[in-house]
Amino acid sequence: MSGPAPRSVAGADTSAADIQDDPSVAAEIVRIVDAAGPAAVLFVGRRPGKSVDTLLHGRLLVVGDDADLAAVVLRLLRKDLLGSVEIAFAAPSRRSPFRLLWDLPSGVAAVRLAAEGEVDLVPLVRDDVGGVLVGVGYLGPVNGTVYVDEHRVLRGPARRLQVVPHREKGLEVTVTTRRGFAGFGGRPRITNGRAVQIGTVPTTVVRDGVPYARPMDRWTFYKHTEPLRLVRGLV
């Protein structure tokens, strides 16, 4: 059974002279927009904010990268609309962690899925500074203490800490320690849970490819109480 006809929210206008995408990505955006139909598309720019609020009903097809999608999802969260709006996603680049995580098609195939696919409820990850994480987050280097739920998973230094959504628990945390003698280090340690709390020397935080504005010494990611209604085509 197909869902409601999607309206497209495009994250970049390929007619703009200052577009930042490489030519192959820009060309793919054009193909996606053409497939969706011009009447259904509204260009809202990168990382849209309140400009999408009037579109937040029914089913949306978001065209852009993971950070563009996160910006739309954040508006859903702030408007208390996660339970009523269905989100489809067309990534112009195959490198989208969100697309890979949930096994979504890219490009024009994503437009067909948006029109015909069923909704799957997938976990949404939030943080303690008012943001969301849809694909992958990184912190690093880290030197401090990290807890996943009540379990301590790090005390000391690590090269990087990675967080991605996890269907059952909420999030998956991977700790990669520093390289040791001759370039060898410990194996990455993976822990699943509902929340991760990080205390560290000030370090860089990257959410969905976008660095946070300043180094942080404390950070929390956690599973939101409501899922994201993602059009995946799976029942």
pLDDT in tens, 112-146: 999 999 999 999 999 999 999 999 999 999 999 99
Does residue 5 carry a pLDDT above 70?
no
- Flag whether 125 is in a domain: no
Pairing of strands 142-148, 151-158: antiparallel
Which residues touch 120 (CB under 8 Å, ≥6 apart)?
Answer: 102, 230, 231, 232, 234
Does residue 221 carry a pLDDT above 50?
yes
Cβ proximity of 26 and 14 under 8 Å: yes
DSSP per position, 65-98:
-HHHHHHHHHHHHHTT-TTT-EEEEE-SSTT-HH
Question: Does the global pTM surpass 0.85?
Answer: yes
For residue 62, the model assigns a pLDDT of 94
Q: 107 and 43, same structural domain?
A: yes
Q: How far apart are CA 23 and CA 132, in angstroms?
A: 29
Nearest to 2 by CA among 115, 126, 95: 115
Q: 136 and 113, same structural domain?
A: no
Does residue 1 carry a pLDDT above 50?
no
- Flag whether 184 is in a domain: yes
* Mean pLDDT, residues 185-205: 93
Dihedral sign for Cα atoms in the order 98, 102, 103, 105: negative
- Flag whether 231 is in a domain: no
The CATH number covering residue 197 comes to 2.60.200.40
Q: How far apart are CA 183 and CA 190, in angstroms?
A: 21
Q: 156 and 102, same structural domain?
A: no
Q: 146 and 113, same structural domain?
A: no
For residue 21, the model assigns a pLDDT of 57
- Flag whether 196 is in a domain: yes
State how far the alpha carbon of 214 is from the alpha carbons of 59, 129, 202, in Å.
35, 12, 9
What dihedral do alpha carbons 225, 173, 145, 205 form, nearest 10°?
A: -80
* Mean pLDDT, residues 185-202: 92
Q: 113 and 12, same structural domain?
A: yes
- Flag whether 94 is in a domain: yes
Question: Which of the listed residues 94, 117, 140 is the one where a domain comes to its end?
Answer: 117
Q: 166 and 95, same structural domain?
A: no
Domain that holds residue 89: 7-117
CB atoms within 10 A of CB 145: 14
Q: 11 and 95, same structural domain?
A: yes
Does residue 184 carry a pLDDT above 60?
no
**Higher pLDDT, residue 69 or 186:** 69
Q: 138 and 111, same structural domain?
A: no
- Flag whether 162 is in a domain: yes
- Flag whether 136 is in a domain: yes
- Phi, psi dihedrals of residue 43, rounded to the nearest 5°: -80, 120
Q: 162 and 113, same structural domain?
A: no
**Higher pLDDT, residue 107 or 207:** 207
Question: DSSP code of 23?
Answer: H
Strand ranges of the sheet holding 59-63, from the earlier edge strand across to the other edge: 41-43, 7-10, 59-63, 86-90, 228-231, 119-122
Question: Which of the listed residues 117, 141, 163 is the one where a domain comes to its end?
Answer: 117
Total structural domains within the chain: 2
Which residues touch 201 (CB under 8 Å, ≥6 apart)?
Answer: 142, 143, 144, 217
Question: Which of the listed residues 54, 85, 117 is the one where a domain comes to its end?
Answer: 117
* Location of structure tokens 């520093």: 178
For residue 104, the model assigns a pLDDT of 95
How many angstroms separate the most distant Cα atoms in the chain? 60
Q: 152 and 207, same structural domain?
A: yes
- Flag whether 38 is in a domain: yes
Average pLDDT along the chain: 89
Q: 157 and 184, same structural domain?
A: yes
Tens digits of residue pLDDT in 15-71: 443 345 567 888 888 888 888 887 678 888 889 999 899 999 999 999 999 999 999
